Every structure is written in C-alpha cells, then in structure tokens.
Structure 1
Amino acid sequence: MKRVVITGMGAVTPLGNDVETFWKNSLAGESGAATITHFNPEKFKVQFAAEVKNFTPEKYLDRNEIKRSDLFTQFGIYAAAEAMEDSGLDLATIDPFDIGVIWGTGQGGMQTFEDDVVAFATGNGTPRFSPFFVPKLIANMASGMISMKYGLRGINYTTVSACATANTAFMDAFNYIRWGKAKVIVSGGSEAPITQASVGGFSSMKAMSTRNEDPKAASRPYDVERDGFIMGEGAGALILEEYEHAKARGAKIYAELIGAAMTADAYHMTAPHPEGIGAAKSMELALEDANITSDQVDYLNPHATSTPLGDLAELNAVTKVFKGSSNLNISATKSMTGHLLGAAGAVEAILCIKAIQNSIIPPTINISNLDENIPEGINIVTEPKQKEINIAMSNAFGFGGHNSTVIFRKI
C-alpha cells in the first residue's frame, strides 16, 4: 500500500488561532479556560469553558461564507485554509478529482439549531426559520464548504463518532490514500459547542467540572481532585498526501501517518469500560497496522479529559498495551485546551506532530496531587520535556463507546 504523509497543518484553538501560536502556548503550559462570554452563564451550574479568542474569520472567509455558515464550519474552513496555505499545494497542477475532504464534527451547527428553534418557540408560532437554517445546521456542511472553497472534487464526507470523530476522519483519509483512491485529502475536525444547550446538557449529566472559582485549574487529568471535563471549541486540519506525490512536488513533510484503528466498548452510553478493553484493543490494532511494537512509541497524547472514570480506564488500557515500557511519555494536553469534542483528536494530532518535529513534549498542567490509583510505571510529563520523538500515538474516545487511535512517525 501507498505511504501517507502530512504536508500541511492548521489550527483554531483556545490557545491560539494558528499552529505556531497554539504550539507556543501549549509549551508554556497556558490554560485556555475562562468565564463563558458566548452567553450569560450566570444561571448555569458550569460557568466557564475554553473559548477561542479574537477569532477573525475574515482572514480566510468572505462575507457570504460567514453569513451562510455556523461557527463550527467557520472554524473548519479557517483551519483548513491555514493548512492548505502551509502545504504549498498548487491546485492548478492537480486533478481536482484527486483531492478530497474528510472532515469530522460531533455536534454540527448547535448554535444555529438553538437560535432558530428558540426564536420559533418564543415567537408567535409562525414557522419563519432562516433559509440557511438547515445548511448551517447539518454536520456535513464544513466538509462541503471546504471543498467548494478550493474546488476539490474528490472524496467528500463527514464522520461523526462523538469525541473520537477527528481520528475517525484521519483513519478514513489514511485508508483512501494508501488504497490509491486519492492523492491528497484535507482532514480534521471542528466543533463550536459552547452554547446554552450543550453546556446545560453536559452539565446535567455531571460530566463537566464545576470549578467556577478557578477555571484555569479546572481541567486536571490524573489529579485526585479532578471533577470533570472543560468544554472547548475550535478546529484542527491536516493535509494528508500520498508520499510519492508529495516528494515529486518538493513538499515540506512534517511526519508520516503509519497506523490507525477503531473499536467499540459495547458497554455503556457514556461511561468507558472500566478495564479499558476497547481502548486497549484500539491501540493494539493501530500498532499492528503500523507494524511496530509498543516499546517503539515515544509519546502518547491520551484522551484524558479529567473525568474520574475515564482517566483511569484509559491508563488501565495503556498499562495492558505498553506493559510498563520506560520509553513511553504521556502528556494530557486537554488540561490546557479543554475538550474540543469532535475536534479534540485533530488539535492533539497537531501537537503530536509538533512534538516529533521539535523533539519536545508539551506538559500536563494542574496536577497537584496525583491520584494514587494511577497504575505504577506511568510516566506523566508535567513540564515541557526535551526528547527525541520518533513515534507518537494519539487516542480519542467518545460517547457511545467509540475508541480511536492514530500513530505518527518522524520522516
């Protein structure tokens, strides 16, 4: 099968609206969490989130694109535009049917749905929905609008697997390229879930931290006092390209995608399997796909959302797969970005690739007292760590029992 490499990256995150700013602030251990500004959270049990700051869609989107798109699509187009620019692709020299888009989102246009339905419910009952209500709402519109912006006529669709979504998109793009069905695929995920309905809904499930008095310290994976995740928003984009195609055009190559896998827990709607059976199998299958052994992995960016059950279940799986490998370093970067739901895997893949490129691991912040139930032999990085990274793995898991793993290698 053909090899697949990454030749472009783009990011919109709570830590910065381009890849370099995002990377710099991650290494600095910055937190993107603060009191919610998207709406008045005064009456909500959870009053903070990790919002994107100073977002100016006009940099990459024209007036009509902004008017006709939900924020999750705007984030997606913006990140994809940075990635396309970064890749140096000359679209005039490539058959448009050889370039596709496989994008992901967990919720789609939640703010659009909320705004129009509330306006209808509080109005006079006349169904005067915006003509853009459905196009802005549906989950596939980010992939559609990215393809329209650049005239990309190849494979185009959207994956939805909750918080495993972006990794699912990467896996599909990886397979289509190595099977010879595409030369280039723009892939990633975007999410804009900081709305009253989303925050209220997740809060009612008791899934989110309620540390309103100290938002920046609220996301604390592996800490004994962790009490739930922080909602985040944004997008991450990768340009996945067939290796020989990239080499022929003299492309800058960041890393190679060498393995990917998915499994299901088949256990519970929202809780992970306590022994991490599905998560462990996902990692094992990804290693098998990459034709490497667990002791070759230098860095793992885990799912680690800062929930009492989820963090331990994943580490139980890691212990099973890696069997105490002293080579493995783990840093849970959701401690800084919050949880971007369907976009989480996308921004975390970027951090894996930057770690490979720069030989430095970003930290896990906010660990004051490590949970005594953390398995022995787990090496959690709490300060930026200089280390040659040849292979990095990233996990993303989602409600519904979805488990996904991708593996990148230095090239």
Structure 2
Amino acid sequence: MQVWDGISDARLTFSASEIGLERPQEGMARLTENLNLQRGLLRHLEKLPEVQLIDKTKVQSIIRDTEERGGWPLVHLDNGRVLRARLLVGADGFNSPVRSYAQISSFGWSYDTQGIVATMVHPPRGAFQGPNTTCYQRFLPTGPIAFLPLSPTVSSLVWSTRPHIASALTASDPDVFASMINAAFRLPELSLRYLYNRIIEAQANGTPLTHAEIQQEILWREQSHSIDHNSAYASAVIQPNADVGVPAADSESLPPLVTSLQPGTVATFPLRFNHTDSYIGEGQGSRTVLVGDAAHTVHPLAGQGLNLGIADVECLARCIDDALQKGGDVGSYTALLPYAQERYLENHTLMSAIDKLHKLYTSTLEPVVWARSVGVEVLNEFDSIKAALMMTAGARDHKLNNAAAGWNMAAKGVEGLAAGVNAAKLLSGGIGGMIGMGL
C-alpha cells in the first residue's frame, strides 16, 4: 500500500514482505466485492440446517413482551409472523430499528464530505511491473482518493470529496469522470481545484465538458507543471501500448491509468462519524445488542468499517458460546457485558484516530502540512511500527515465518530511529534533536 500527501507528496509505503508474507496470496489484507461476501455467507448458511433464513420480508415493528412472559423482544413481520427473541442482535445499519427499540442514544456528526464509489477498468500491469496488488491512496484537502485492486484489470474507487464536487463529478460523462480520477492521483492540488471549477461552471451553464475538452485541460495543466509526457504522472494522453516495453521509472508510484468505469457502479453517500453510548440494551430495551454500523459509523479513509463490524461479530459469537457452555442466558446483561467491554474502547480508539487523521489532512495551513509531512517521512523509516499497523489494519492474524522475524523487526525499528532522525534533520535543522530526545 502506498499513501501520500496531496500537497507535500510525503509518502508512506507498506509491503507485506515486511511482516514475513512473501507469497502473493498472503497479502496483508484482502479486498472482496460485497456480492461475493454475501454469496459466500449464503452458501455457508445452507450447510447449517439449524439456521432459518427469512427473506423477502420486512420488519413492521419491534415491541416488548409482557413482564409475565419475560419481557422478550417481539419482532412483528409483514407476513403476520411474530418472532420472540431471547437475544435480538441489531446488525441493521446506521438507521437501526433495533437501536431505536432499545432506546440506545448515540453521538456524532456529519462530515462536509460525500463518498464516491465505482468500479474502474484499466490495462493490466506490464511484464516489467509487479501485479495489480497494491493499494494507492492520496490525501487531498477535499478528501482522500483510494485505488483498491480487485483483479489484474479491475479496481475499486473510494473517493471522499466535497458534496458539490461529488455532484459535479458523478453528473459528468463517465469518460470525463475517469479522466478526473487519473488526474486526481497525479496533478498538483492547485490544478485539481481549477479542473473542479471548470466542470462545475460548465454544468451550471448547461454545457458540460466533453472528454476531449477535459483531456485538453489536463494536458495544458501537465505542460504548465513541466510533467514529461512519458512520465507515469502524465494522464492526458493514454498510450495504447503503454504496458509494452520498459515502464517509466516512477510507474510503481502510481496506479494504472483508468480507461473506463463499469456501468451502474458509480454511487455516492454522505460520510459521518457516529458512535452509540452503549452496545447493550437495558431496562425496556433489554435482550438487545448492537454490532457493525448499528453501533458505529466511521470515515472510510482507513477502510476499517467492515473490519470493525466483523470483529464485533467474532467477539459477540465468543461471548454467546461462552454463555452456552456455562449454561447461562445468552440474552442477559451479564452474558453480553464482556462483548461491550472488549469492543467499545477498541472501536472508539480507532474511530477517534481516523477522525483526527481526516481533520489533519483537510488542512492546507503550511505549519500543519509541514508537521504531518515530517511525521510521515519519519514513520516511513520505522519498519516495526509499520508492521504492527499492517497486522492490525488487515484484520487478519498473521503468523511470522519464524521467531527471528520478530527480532528482525525490532532491529529494523532501532535502525529506523536513526534514519528517521536523519530524515527529520534534512527537513528541519532542529527537529531531529527534538525527536531524538523525545524518543
């Protein structure tokens, strides 16, 4: 994975080989389309006869049973059926009916940002390049743009930007949108602002820009920034045989050029931060528990939303299993408390870090840009810290090849300290000593 600052170009790189994963199938994380996740889950449920799947049915209401009958939640379906639940799990998204029934309050805020997703088509990597197994993310002041590989010729887009920019981009011709995706990974931020304004003004005047017009605009901006047309940073003219021959020296620093978007895959959604005050219902809302987006919603810049939900489910399953093994009541507060104790703080810590990261990278103030760039350059030298981040963010339990690998990471961390201080000295005469003393 390669992550860089859209203003200073300070770059942070992650490689699976740094945590002892050499083979391609042992990547630090795996990107899977939602349809495939659903298909795999349904196939697994078919092997579990004790699980009954009810589909094509809506929940009309959730009410509490009488105290004489235990006060269990009663789920009324639109087919007239009523489900009486010993434990009601709310895995029903941000606008959770289960959370409303349990009267669990939440706190948070909406970001002035829209998320854009799409499936992108591009040429395969050339014979002298590595496979399409690298994620790219550029942090722009308007929000990060991410390129997430799915196959040799298909990748997923997650672009967070201002609502008016998102509306203009998604309303444009798909070829224009594809050209803007390429430019967003390559052009300086000043030129991107100009292109946003051109697209918005053209749409306001009723004459949207054509693909040829936006390509001409991009070409002019590239020339004004002295970008060589043979460089990987050039996107105005896509060479038909660009994957043949020796690639540009900087080709691995950027994703492949997008040639088109799969029809029907472009979508937008508002971004927000939201966390419930509790994961367990009490009193009138007892015998309920929340997981995933019903409990927490986070900015997608770190790609951790689904991972947090999966970790919730894994932990809750352990708590339920433990209660059953001990002959306890799976819906009781006592049985569910370990789940809340384990997951709430862990989720909130990561969510807060992501929120601060979003706010940090939306600033264009020179001192802030300088400080975050120094931090990235120093962090990039600490292999041990990066390894810890990879093993955590990938939501997979990585086992290093042997015990020596752990010592190697520790040694690299010490080497990284010296290299990091040297990098800081290059950026500022006095910061190196400060970092050294602090550490």
Which range, TM-score by smaller chain? under 0.3
**TM-score computed with the length of structure 2 as normaliser:** 0.23
Q: Which has the larger radius of gyration?
A: 2
